[in-house]
Amino acid sequence: MDFASILSSEISKKRKETPSTTTSSTPDAPPKKYLKRSELEAQRQAEYERKQLELTTQRAQRVTEKRAAEAAAAQRREETKEKQQRLAEERRKREEALRGSSEPSKKDDGDVDAGEEMTDAEAVAKLRELGHPARLFGESTVGRIKRCKRLVAAHEASLDPLDSPAPLISEEEMRLNPENVKKDPELVYRQLDAWFRLVVMEWRKALDERPLSVKESFQGKKAADAMLQAEEYMKPLFRHFKQKDLRPNVFEKVCEIVVEAQNRRYVKANDVYLKLSIGNAAWPIGVTMVGIHERSAREKLHENQKEGAAHIMSDEVTRKFLQSIKRCLSFCQTRWPPKDALQLMG
């Protein structure tokens, strides 16, 4: 046999074996090589629906579990609350049994004694005036009166000192007597309060009487801002006047300033102000040594602090109202000018 006949016979054998093997191995139809877009979209839609069904099932299961847990927690809270109420009732009954019948009468007597200063009707009226509830649940008469006093004190502390009524003192009675600083400080406090209120009122009136062109100018606005700032800074000073708790050294120096200002000796008043604010210290900011050698009279640098004088750099509130007092002096020498021109401050 030649080569061509052998090759043709082998090819015919292979052709006969291929259909049998494919039929035995894959009885179904052969897979497609290409897919349509619609078939891909159908497969994607089926997968999406399957996932959404799983998510919906899981979500419903979680909601059911959460509701069951909330119901169980609510039931536990209700049981705990009932138990606490029951224990509290039992404790109250035991305490009442131990106290006996004599304790309530003593408590009532104590309530009457504690409420002698203010009656219940007055406390209720005051609470309604302040806009607070007149009665609270479980509140006794003494508790109501104490609450009323506490709210009244807080209300008075929050008020503007300048809005409170001024002392009924005439302008002649405002003149301070240096002897009364030690003898009758209450009168001096009322005189200081009335005099500084008079100065602030006159200052405000002088600014209001200016022409409109001056008010709208830069210097006019600056002067109005200085007055408002001084008025704001002096509020703690007016509270000290009302409570009569100004520090003794500051009180005495302020009285000296007012006495000199009322006598129109503004240079002397300024000297007292400087002594009050920075004292006699050579370096008021706190420098004690400017070299390696000790100088004479160095121990007098802190003499003012030993006396307890109010250093203008030590307390912010004190610094502010002392600065406002200086501004009041500057206004006073323009409102009530001295007869001697040498008494004008620079």
Distant-in-sequence contacts of 274-277, Cβ < 8 A, 24+ apart:
276/250, 276/309, 276/310, 276/312, 276/322, 277/310, 277/311, 277/312, 277/319, 277/322
**What pTM value is reported for the model?**
0.50
Query: Residues 168-174: what's their mean pLDDT?
Result: 74
Assess whether pLDDT exceeds 90 at residue 182: no
User: Does 108 score more than 70 pLDDT?
Assistant: no
- What average pLDDT does range 27-51 have in this prediction? 81
Per-residue pLDDT, 291:
60
In the structure, what pLDDT confidence band is assigned to residue 125 with cuts at 50, 70 and 90?
A: confident
The mean predicted confidence, pLDDT, of the chain is 78
Cα distances (Å, whole numbers) of residue 225 to 113, 162, 207, 228, 231? 53, 17, 11, 5, 10
At 313 the pLDDT is 52
Taking only Cα atoms into account, the Rg of the chain, rounded to an integer number of angstroms, comes to 47
Q: pLDDT band for position 55 (50/70/90)?
A: very high
Question: Which 8-state DSSP code applies to residue 163?
Answer: G
Residues in the chain: 346
